Structure 1
Amino acid sequence: MFSPITSTHRRITLVGKSLILLICLLLTAEAGKAQSVNATKGGKGLQFVSADSVFSTKINLRIQTLYVGEYDLDNDEYSDQVQIRRARLKLEGFAFRPAFEYKLELGLSNSDIGGGNQAANNNTSNVVLDAFVKWNINDNLGLIFGQTKLPGNRERIISSQKMQFVDRSLLNSRYNIDRDVGIQLHHEFALGTVVVKEVAAISMGEGRNITVDNVGGYDFTGRVEVLPFGEFKGGGDYVGSDLEREETPKLAIALAYDLNKGASRERGQLGRFFTQHQDLKTIFADAMFKYRGFSAMAEFADKTSSGSPVVETDLETGDVKNSFFTGSGFNIQAGYLFKNNYEVAGRFTNVDPEAATQREENKQYTLGLSKYILGHTVKAQTDVSLLREQQKWSNLMYRFQFEVGF
């Protein structure tokens, strides 16, 4: 039943959040008057450093406006929509001295916040994406404390601003381990021209913005990456497309493992909450290659549970009603960036859920076209995808997205 009190409370809550955000922006702007402004390039944000050089902040804002049109081949029906896919505000810098860094990133669109305020699931609003402090112990070792992305599959670690296609693949949407709250230790070293990067993380295991006691166990994640030909320009091993046009071949190969003890959500850090808990184990393997405008990326994921992934079945039909999302997936994509900064790219994704879950295998074929106006900061991207499931073509999807930021 509709409750005017509840409705009013929600409106007050939204207004309160909006006022808090506005105040923060005004305070930031006022503080900037007393600070020196560094000369920055387009797409690198607005940077401020205090007069005594004990504090700095860089502000970035970006918006992705998206059109999606889908044709249901089974039912001969077409539907479409226009949405603000992402609206992000990011602040990062250092405090006291450069060794102590911080980052705060907020998601402001409904797509960013969606899934929050589920009282039954003890889940709070999902406005906060990243919120952490980092201590750079030395040039090769750093400790992170707070909420950020776990070191899982490469496609998920790559920022949503720097993707080669309009959005990530089906492999990522089914198996990625997303963000979590905890600690991470980042280390890297070189052996001649070979660079090795290692990340270890211990987190709560239930995803971002959870404010209640941990109902399961902890999550343990490790990732090792090898760059046999040295570093990519501009951190290109975590950027879609070869915008730097690498003059020599560059390759990154990585392996990651995640153990979510007593997972209570459908996909570990994401999805519905269940009363039943399972240990979820995920293996990721991925690679990135770039050379003179050509780029290619491949990923594999395999997720298993300690017991049956099935949580609930229909007693009459035996059909699965709820289950953890287990199974395997493979994604490969490649593109070529022309000198006029147009790029053509193709992607193939296969998702093969565990048979016990009764979910269907999906194969998706995607062809994309991008125009980079100011790198990934100002760009237009479009792609067409054809989905195959239950041994037949089922969906044709067209997307167009424009991104602008600073």
Structure 2
Amino acid sequence: MNQKLTGVCLAFLFACLFAFNTHAQTTNNTTFGKGLRFVAADSSFSMQLGTRFQLLYQGGHDPNTKNWEDRFLIRRARLKFDGFAFSPRLVYKIELGLSNSDIGSDVPDVTNNADNIILDAVAKWALTPNLHLWVGQAKLPGNRERVISSQKLQFVDRSLLNSRFNLDRDAGLQLHHEHKVGQVVLREIGSLSMGEGRDITVNNSGGYDYTGRFEILPLGDFKGGGDYVGSDIEREQTPKLSLAASYDFNANAAREQAQLGDFLSETRDLRTWFVDAMFKYRGFSAMGEYANRKAPDGPVVLRDERGGVEETFVTGSALNLQAGYLLPSNWEVAGRYTDYTPTTETRLRAQDQYTLGISKYIVGHSLKVQSDVTLIQEAGRDDRTQFRLQMELAL
């Protein structure tokens, strides 16, 4: 573990010791999965500390070598701090990623993201009860699946649609507004951000990123914020539905996937839009998403002498549909279909994925075991299968 990670871990341990040793100044009414919480004696601030990790086994049959290839890894390992500062109207969230999958690559020659520890660092000010200003680094208001926490997913991990087109995290400003008309809930979100992803320390290399999202919940609020939780953990007793659309314009984007991927030798304007929906009722849940990204000036920025694509932005479209049923025993069976269609000019390979998942929720999403098997059909290649088994533990 490098010095930065060691320092982060030590800071977390000291914070925990401080919390335990200042009982006279703290109030701790937490439960399993909710972290360690304390409030200053004068109520001037609060802090909730949480940690979680995912242990993943992943294996699959390689049609080229005819071998079974597999690995164990720590898919995610996180530290999270949140609470209020000075006033309950000003809340904050800090989340750090410690695994190689969180912060970069473990391949020695790929080190451009190796110190990318900070996931979230954002302050949220309640300007009015229904209007909140976010300042800092956080997830952009893009597709629903990306905004759902990786702790609260219905499957072992997010879909191919998300890996190709999600907006991820970025630093800047966001405005969140919510109001009701009768039982109908309406939400409007807008953001202005750097456009190059999380924890970028150099000057802006292109333009800025502008995102807008609108949501309507015609049947009222979901229990426990369930419109951003995989599976119907709350077992909604009346039907609940959320419909949403997002649009993102990244001016002079410098990275191949806007906020993600390699920096390319030229910039392009990228236009991305999403439509998505979530439905839940008595243990049944269904979610659908469609994504489309275009580069009006063409996605390809560099070709070789023979006209082959060497550098390109990832453009095209994708569809993701999934549904599951949570049994009274807290076992869940779920299915997912994902179609990815890249822009022909990029020479990227189209792909379809069919996934069957089985999960056991022991303590909701805080302690669970999930498994899934996926049939992957990729243009120009033999079909292959992938099996995954993962345990999530969150304190």
TM-score band (shorter)?
over 0.9
Which of 218, 224, 233 is equivalent to 1:243?
A: 233
Query: Does residue 1:381 correspond to 2:383, yes or no?
Result: no
Distance 1:351 1:205, change over 3 A: same
Deviation, structure 1 residue 44? 1.4
Corresponding residue SS for 1:126: coil
Q: Deviations over 1:107-164 (max 9, x none)?
A: 0111101159999997672100000111011221100000000000000000000000
**What is the one-letter code of the residue matched to 1:348?**
Y
Task: Give the Å deviation of 1:390.
Answer: 1.6
Q: Check whether the contact 1:117–1:124 (CA below 8 A) recurs between aligned residues.
A: no
Q: 1:80 aligns with which of 49, 56, 70?
A: 70
CA distance in 1, matches of 2:12, 2:27: 19
1:92-241 alignment, distance < 5 Å: 92-115=82-105, 125-241=115-231
1:386–1:393: 8 Å Cα contact kept in structure 2? no
Q: What's the offset of the Cα at 1:16? A: 4.8
1:41 Cα deviation from its structure 2 partner = 2.2
Q: How many residues align?
A: 393
* In structure 2, C-alpha distance between the alignment counterparts of 1:117 and 1:54, rounded to whole Å: 45
Between the aligned partners of 1:111 and 1:122, the Cα distance in structure 2 is: 13
TM superposition shift of 1:20 = 4.6
Structure 1 residues 27 and 61: CA distance shift in structure 2, 3 A: closer
Are 2:4 and 1:21 aligned? no
Cα deviations by residue, 1:144-192 (Å, 9 ceiling, x for unpaired): 0000000000000000000000000000000001000000000000000
Deviation at 1:37, TM superposition (A): 3.0
Return structure 1 stretches of 4+ with deviation > 3 angstroms.
Answer: 115-124
- Taking structure 1 as reference, are residues 23 and 121 closer, same or farther at Cα in structure 2, changes over 3 Å only? closer
Quick one: distance in 1 between partners of 2:93 and 2:247? 25
Deviates most, 306-315 or 81-90: 306-315
Which one-letter code corresponds to 1:68 in the other structure? Q
- Alpha-carbon contact 1:122-1:210 (below 8 Å) kept: no
- Counterpart mapping for 1:277-288 below 5 A: 277-288=267-278
TM-score by length of 2: 0.96
CA–CA distance in structure 1, aligned partners of residues 299 and 333 of structure 2? 39
Determine if the alignment matches structure 1 residue 364 to structure 2 residue 353.
Answer: yes
Q: Residue 256 in 1 paired to residue 246 in 2?
A: yes
Once the two structures are superposed, the pairs formed by residues 238-387 of structure 1 within 5 Å of their partners are 238-316=228-306, 318-387=307-376
% identical aligned pairs:
54
Single out whichever of 237-246 and 30-39 deviates more from structure 2.
30-39
- The whole-number CA distance in structure 1 between the counterparts of 2:143 and 2:330 is 27
Is the 2:269–2:296 contact (alpha carbons within 8 Å) kept by the matching residues of 1?
yes
Any idea what SS the aligned residue of 1:29 has? Answer: helix
3-state secondary structure, aligned to 1:286: strand
With 53-62 and 35-44 compared, the bigger mean Cα shift is at 35-44
Q: Matches of 2:243 and 2:364 in 1, distance apart? A: 25
Unpaired runs of 5+ residues, structure 2, are none
**Pair 77,118 (structure 1): closer, same or farther in 2 beyond 3 Å:** closer
Match of 1:37, SS state, is: coil
Q: 2 CA distance for matches of 1:160 and 1:171? A: 15
Gaps of 5+ in 1: 1-10
Q: 1:242 offset after TM fit, Å?
A: 0.1
Counterparts of 2:30 and 2:364, CA distance in 1: 15
In 1, Cα distance between the equivalents of 2:284 and 2:5? 44
- On the 8 A contact 2:19/2:38 being kept in 1, the answer is no
